[in-house]
Amino acid sequence: MKKHTIIRKVFSFVIVASMMISSVYAGSALDAAEDLQTSDKVLFGVISDMHIGATGHGAGTNGQAEGLNSVLQWYGEQGVQALAMVGDISANGNQANMNQLKACIDNYLDPDIMVLASMGNHEYDTASNSDIFSNTLGMEPNAHYVINGYHFITLSPGSSSSGVVANPRNGAIAARGRNATLLGLGNDAYSHIQAWAESRIQYAIAEDPNKPVFVFFHHPLRYSFYVSDEWYGSGLGNGNSTFLSKYPQVVSFSGHIHSPNNEPRSIWQDGGFTAVNTVTTYYFELERGLVGNNRNATGTSTMAKGDGIAMQGLVVEVEDSVVTIKNYDFLSEEWIDQTWTFDVTKELPYTNKRAEKAQKPIFSDDAVISVSNKQATEVTVTFDVASLPEASEVGEIIHHYSYTIRNMDTGVLLRSFRQWSDFMFLPVRETYTQIIGGLAAATEYELSISAVGSFGLSSDPISMVFITAVTKDALGNLIRQVESRIEGLVQQNYTTESWDGLTGSLAVAKDVHSQDTPGQAAMDSVFVELKAAVNALTLRGADYSAVEDAIAAAEALNRNLYVNFNDVDDAIAVVEFGLDITRQETVDSFAPAIWAAIADLILADVEGATPSAEVIKMAGNKNDLKVTVTEMLSNGKENPIIKTFTINNNAIGVYEIGVYKVYVDTKGNTQIRACYFVD
């Protein structure tokens, strides 16, 4: 009764989780492990990296045991038949660690649940640790078990094997794989056990080629699931080349990385078999190059925020050739939205082809970034998280956010960095908060943030401009800079509005600065306003009236009459419009040049002329007579001279058009019977 009281106090979620799993398997024989002994199904749990005996990362005073105890009882509530512990089950594998682990199992795990364990690099502190492992837990580091007709194979790193022995607890076939030398905490080699492992896999497949074969080893194959390109073992090949690729029935489980299973890439089947990440109950650790738990984004860390406290585990249900893997978060007491189901006799679905169904993340139209806790060299930003446009077919998540910070005063990119979206922590939050340091006081920055999904697609960015906290010294420096600048300026050269705005802002800033302890908000406000007033100071425009008069005179001329009017065009083309008053001398030089070009114009010679006339019918017996004389000029152009007269019907007359006299004989009120020059 006392034991149950402690469990309820520390992990009350066991009751809730039990109800959840019961609803999943309602009406089946999975409610009790003993009922499964004769069924064609198997239900088992998988955990790793418990690090019993460790300190730090929220381990508490009892070296992770308190958390593990509740995890063990939870698995009992799920009715699992077996629980696999995939290496780094202790801090360093010594007798004290193993005794503590054994006590946890004996006191909190249902005795009907079979424990399968393999050793990890943390179990190798001395050469005798493999003996401690076997003697204390009653199992061998490398073993082959059969549960309900399904084969389970555990592998441990080492350097030599001493042959096959009998497992005293389960009667399973086992290979000791003991180590004759001191290996230390970095051991990750499996080559010594590869041949034995393959022989056991072949044996299992020969017995039933349609059933999965479960293989457990601590270090993942490089280039397989999420983060395994950075944390991995050796001796079993890698994702590009491994003997396991010959066996699609193999479902392997590996830990070591401490990466979470909220990520769809935590299962990998591109190699022709299945590799699954096994999650820690200690702390999260992920890929390099992201900010992680670096407090103010001035560096990087593989640890998730908040020291990465983690507690996740897997539940695996098997029926014939079909495997379903569910992931559970013990801290939030809820199932993770990553459930993987596949049939080992069919095409495996969890491959890199999932990227073809990836979606570009989006921010909502009203997503904003806000800044709080402004200091001289750092700020805290909070923004609305991004999402996927539609429910993902491949379990895609928002993996991380990419940040860029640009100095608005210089236009120079200060830096860019990436930070996980905290996808490993449940429940999923609606806003995200990040501290950004390494900034300069009283400096304006532009911050842009983009969301990136599991398969690399990036959203359009959201952005904002902010200024870091203004110190009294920074405000004083700006005031002195502005005063020094004003001393050399001529007030009359600036627009009244902008000059008054600057001098007014300067006066307000000086008033705030004169206070003994000016408020932060006041200093920030007057600093921003004074900088804005400086940027808004506007020179008056130069006087272009003389230039405009000269251009108007040129446009009034008939350019067809001159052989060199292009000289006028050239004089106008060099005019620079929009110059301010400080360039008045330059502006004043444009008009004389235009007038000089006009004065130098040369008239083209008239080489011939042709008369024509047109009667335009008007009301009554009056009509308009339009007489045109078209001169052919020496510059190849024509110069039409047009004059209109009012005439009667059937009028005949001589009409003066410039220097020309034109005889016109009309008929009725529309016809021209004759039109020619006369002396």
Q: Does residue 95 sit in the same domain as residue 161?
A: yes
Q: What is the CATH number of the domain that holds 233?
A: 3.60.21.10
Q: Does residue 478 sit in the same domain as residue 463?
A: no
Of the candidates 599, 622, 644, which is a domain's last residue? 599
| Cα–Cα dist 382/378, whole Å | 13
Residue 550 resides in a domain: yes
Q: Does residue 530 sit in the same domain as residue 625?
A: no
Tens of pLDDT, residue by residue over 369-389, are 999 999 999 999 999 999 999
* pLDDT for residue 60: 61
Residue 204: pLDDT above 70? yes
Residue 627 resides in a domain: yes
* pLDDT for residue 35: 35
Residue 670 resides in a domain: yes
**What's the chain's length in residues?**
679
Residue 117 resides in a domain: yes
* pLDDT for residue 130: 86
| Cα–Cα dist 183/179, whole Å | 8
pTM (2 d.p.): 0.76
Residue 357 resides in a domain: no
Indicate the range of 117-131, 158-172, 178-192 predicted with least confidence: 158-172
Residue 112 resides in a domain: yes
Q: Does residue 488 sit in the same domain as residue 378?
A: no
Indicate the range of 76-90, 177-191, 309-323 predicted with least confidence: 177-191
Tens of pLDDT, residue by residue over 477-515, are 999 999 999 998 999 999 999 999 999 999 999 999 999
* pLDDT for residue 38: 47
The enclosing H or E element of 551 equals: helix 545-556
* pLDDT for residue 184: 36
- Percent of the residues in the chain that have a pLDDT greater than 90, as a whole number: 82
* pLDDT for residue 27: 23
* pLDDT for residue 34: 33
Residue 359 resides in a domain: no
Query: Cβ(307)–Cβ(58) under 8 Å?
Result: yes
Domain housing 452: 369-467
Q: Does residue 80 sit in the same domain as residue 149?
A: yes
Mean pLDDT, the chain, rounded, equals 88
Q: Does residue 530 sit in the same domain as residue 549?
A: no
Q: How many domains does the chain have?
A: 5
Query: Cβ(401)–Cβ(447) under 8 Å?
Result: no
Q: Does residue 45 sit in the same domain as residue 182?
A: yes
Q: Does residue 553 sit in the same domain as residue 527?
A: no
Tens of pLDDT, residue by residue over 256-304, are 999 999 999 999 999 999 999 999 999 999 999 999 999 999 999 999 9
* pLDDT for residue 21: 25
* pLDDT for residue 306: 79
Q: What is the CATH number of the domain that holds 480?
A: 1.20.1270.90
Tens of pLDDT, residue by residue over 24-63, are 222 222 233 233 344 689 999 999 999 999 887 766 666 6
Maximum average pLDDT range among 35-39, 64-68, 103-107, 664-668 = 103-107
| Mean pLDDT in residue range 645-650 | 92
Q: What is the CATH number of the domain that holds 444?
A: 2.60.40.10
CB-count burial class (<10 Å; 0-12, 13-18, 19+) for 256: buried
| Cα–Cα dist 286/293, whole Å | 11
Q: Does residue 293 sit in the same domain as residue 397?
A: no
Indicate the range of 186-190, 305-309, 568-572 predicted with least confidence: 186-190
| Mean pLDDT in residue range 384-403 | 96
Indicate the range of 9-13, 163-167, 590-594 predicted with least confidence: 9-13
* pLDDT for residue 20: 25
DSSP assignment of 348-402 equals: ---SGGGGGG----B--TT--EEEES--SS-EEEEEEPPB-SS--TT---EEEEE
Of the candidates 350, 378, 399, which is a domain's last residue? 350
Of the candidates 350, 379, 411, which is a domain's last residue? 350
Q: Does residue 182 sit in the same domain as residue 226?
A: yes
Q: Does residue 501 sit in the same domain as residue 394?
A: no
Q: Greatest CA span in the chain, whole angstroms?
A: 140
Backbone angles phi, psi at 644, to 5 degrees: -115, 135
Residue 360 resides in a domain: no
| Cα–Cα dist 297/632, whole Å | 80
- Percent of the residues in the chain that have a pLDDT greater than 70, as a whole number: 89
Q: Does residue 478 sit in the same domain as residue 400?
A: no
Judged by DSSP in three states, 3 sits in helix
Indicate the range of 57-66, 106-115, 497-506, 514-523 predicted with least confidence: 57-66
